[in-house]
C-alpha cells in the first residue's frame, strides 16, 4: 500500500467520518452495521466479528474506526503482511483488553500459521502456543479477552473458507454512485473551509472513480491549484485546468489506466493478455493491477477478464480514440 504524504494524513484525519450518520452512501452496509452495533449494545456484549470486503479507498478503515468509536473501545490496528508468524499474532491477541476492536487490514495476506491461530481466537477466545523446543515442546492453551475482529480485504476470494465462516457479518462495499461522491466532495470542502461551486463538485465527483479517497485527493489538488492561482472559489474552470495538469481525464482515468488500455489495444492487438505479462509491460505489480487498477476499468466496461487473460473492449477502444481527437 502507498504511504500517505503528511498533507494527506492531516487532511484524512479531518475528513474521516467518525459515526455511521456521517458516513456517506453504502446505505445497505450502514443499515446492517447499525443493527449489529445496536444489538451488541442491547445485550451488553462485544459486536460480532466483521469482515469488510471491497476495492481500496471505499471506507473499510473508516468503518473499523466507527465500530470501535461506537463501542467506546480503542481500535488496535495491524495488517496481514505485518503478521508473518503465529507468534506475532499471539502477542497481539494476548495484549487485548475485553471489548477491544482489532482491525486487520489486508487480512488475506496473513501467514498460514497465524490464520489457523486466529480461527480458535475468534471462536473460543483462546490461543494455543508452543512452549519449549524439540521433543519436550508442548502446546498450552491461553485464554484471551473477548474482542471484536474487523478484517478488511480487497480480495475476499483469497480468504480460506474456515476464516470467512468465522465472521458473523460480511459487508461488501460497492463503488459509490456519483450523487454520493458529490456529497463526499461537498462535505470535505466544508470541513476544509473551501468554497466550491456545485458544477465543479459534480465534475470532481465524476472523475473520482466511485471512490471517496480519490474524491478527497482530487479535491486537494484542485484546492492547491485554486490557491496558487489566487482563486477564492473553486469553479468548473479550476477543476478542468487542474485535471488537465494532473492528466486525469473526464472519466477519472489517469496515465497508468490509459497506458494499460493503449497496450491492450495496440501492442497486444486487442487480444487477451495474461496478468503477469501485462504487469511486466507497464512495470507494476500484478497484485496492484488486480486489486487497485483494473476493478474500475472492468466496472466501466473498458476491460474484461476472460479465461485467457485481460482484454480491452470496444468501449475501451472507443474511449482511447475519443481521447486522441
Ligand atoms: N462513506 C464515506 N463518506 C465520507 N468519506 C469517506 C467515506 N468512505 C471513505 N471516506 C474517506 O475516504 C478516505 C479513505 O477511506 P478508508 O481509508 O476508510 O478506505 P479503505 O477502504 O480502508 O482503503 P484501503 O483498503 O486502501 O485501506 C478516508 O479518509 C475518508 O475520509
Do 240 and 312 have their domain in common? no
Catalytic residues: 60-61, 105, 154, 213
Range of the domain at 129: 6-172
Question: Rounded CA gap, 53 and 9, in Å?
Answer: 23
Do 136 and 75 have their domain in common? yes
Q: Summarize pLDDT for 262-285 with one digit per residue, the tens.
A: 999 988 888 899 999 999 998 999
3-state secondary structure of 78: strand
pLDDT band at 238 (very low <50, low <70, confident <90, very high): very high
Is residue 79 in a domain?
A: yes
Q: What is the CATH number of the domain that holds 275?
A: 1.10.10.10
Q: Summarize pLDDT for 290-317 with one digit per residue, the tens.
A: 888 899 999 999 999 988 889 999 999 9
3-state secondary structure of 212: helix
Do 12 and 115 have their domain in common? yes
pLDDT at 106 over 60: yes
Do 73 and 220 have their domain in common? no
Mean pLDDT computed over every residue of the chain: 90
pLDDT at 78 over 60: yes
Do 65 and 132 have their domain in common? yes
Do 65 and 91 have their domain in common? yes
pLDDT number for residue 73: 87
pLDDT at 260 over 60: yes
pLDDT number for residue 113: 85
Domain stops at, among 137, 172, 207: 172
pLDDT number for residue 196: 94
Q: Summarize pLDDT for 216-236 with one digit per residue, the tens.
A: 999 999 999 999 999 889 999
Length of the chain: 325
ipTM of this predicted complex?
A: 0.96
Question: Rounded CA gap, 73 and 66, in Å?
Answer: 10
pLDDT band at 252 (very low <50, low <70, confident <90, very high): very high
Ligand 1, from 16, 176, 215: best to mutate by most atoms within 8 Å of Cβ? 16
pLDDT at 3 over 60: no
Residue 184 alpha carbon, nearest atom of ligand 1: 4
pLDDT at 259 over 60: yes
Cα–chain-centroid distance for residue 33? 17
pLDDT number for residue 297: 94
Do 122 and 31 have their domain in common? yes
Do 25 and 74 have their domain in common? yes
Q: How far is the CA of 236 from the centre of ligand 1 (A)?
A: 25
DSSP conformational letter for 227 = H
Do 35 and 12 have their domain in common? yes
Do 226 and 144 have their domain in common? no
Do 22 and 158 have their domain in common? yes
3-state secondary structure of 138: strand
pLDDT number for residue 5: 65
Do 102 and 17 have their domain in common? yes
Residue 106 alpha carbon, nearest atom of ligand 1: 25
What total of structural domains would you count in the chain?
3
Q: What is the CATH number of the domain that holds 195?
A: 1.10.8.60
- Give which of 146, 149, 68 is closest to 105, Cα–Cα: 149
pLDDT number for residue 30: 96
Q: What is the CATH number of the domain that holds 153?
A: 3.40.50.300
Q: How far is the CA of 211 from the centre of ligand 1 (A)?
A: 8
Amino acid at each position: 500500500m502507498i504511504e500517505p504524504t503528511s498533507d494527506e494524513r492531516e487532511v484524512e484525519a479531518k475528513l474521516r467520518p467518525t459515526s455511521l450518520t456521517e458516513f456517506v452512501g453504502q446505505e445497505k452496509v450502514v443499515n446492517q452495521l447499525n443493527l449489529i452495533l445496536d444489538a451488541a449494545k442491547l445485550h451488553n456484549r462485544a459486536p460480532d466479528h466483521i469482515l469488510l470486503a471491497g476495492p481500496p479507498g471505499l471506507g473499510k478503515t473508516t468503518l473499523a474506526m466507527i465500530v470501535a468509536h461506537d463501542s467506546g473501545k480503542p481500535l488496535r490496528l495491524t495488517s496481514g503482511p505485518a503478521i508473518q508468524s503465529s507468534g506475532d499474532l499471539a502477542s497481539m491477541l494476548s495484549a487485548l483488553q475485553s471489548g477491544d476492536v482489532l482491525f486487520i487490514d489486508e487480512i488475506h495476506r496473513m501467514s498460514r500459521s497465524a490464520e489457523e491461530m486466529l480461527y480458535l481466537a475468534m471462536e473460543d477466545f483462546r490461543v494455543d502456543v508452543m512452549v519449549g523446543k524439540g521433543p519436550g515442546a508442548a502446546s498450552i492453551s491461553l485464554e484471551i479477552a473477548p474482542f471484536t475482529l474487523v478484517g478488511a480485504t480487497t480480495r475476499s476470494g483469497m480468504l480460506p473458507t474456515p476464516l470467512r465462516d468465522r465472521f458473523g457479518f460480511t459487508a461488501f462495499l460497492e463503488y459509490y454512485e456519483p450523487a454520493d461522491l458529490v456529497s463526499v466532495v461537498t462535505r470535505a470542502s466544508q470541513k476544509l473551509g473551501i468554497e466550491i461551486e456545485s458544477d465543479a463538485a459534480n465534475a470532481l465527483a465524476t472523475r473520482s472513480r466511485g471512490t471517496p479517497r480519490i474524491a478527497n485527493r482530487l479535491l486537494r489538488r484542485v484546492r492547491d491549484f485554486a490557491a496558487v492561482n489566487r482563486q477564492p472559489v473553486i469553479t468548473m474552470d479550476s477543476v478542468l485546468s487542474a485535471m488537465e495538469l494532473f492528466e486525469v481525464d473526464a472519466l477519472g482515468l489517469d496515465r497508468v489506466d490509459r497506458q494499460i488500455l493503449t497496450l491492450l489495444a495496440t501492442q497486444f492487438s486487442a487480444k487477451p493478455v495474461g496478468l503477469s505479462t501485462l504487469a511486466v509491460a507497464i512495470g507494476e505489480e500484478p497484485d496492484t493491477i488486480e486489486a487497485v487498477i483494473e476493478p474500475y476499468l472492468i466496472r466501466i466496461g473498458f476491460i474484461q477478464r476472460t479465461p485467457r487473460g485481460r482484454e480491452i473492449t470496444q468501449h475501451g477502444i472507443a474511449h482511447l480514440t475519443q481521447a486522441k481527437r
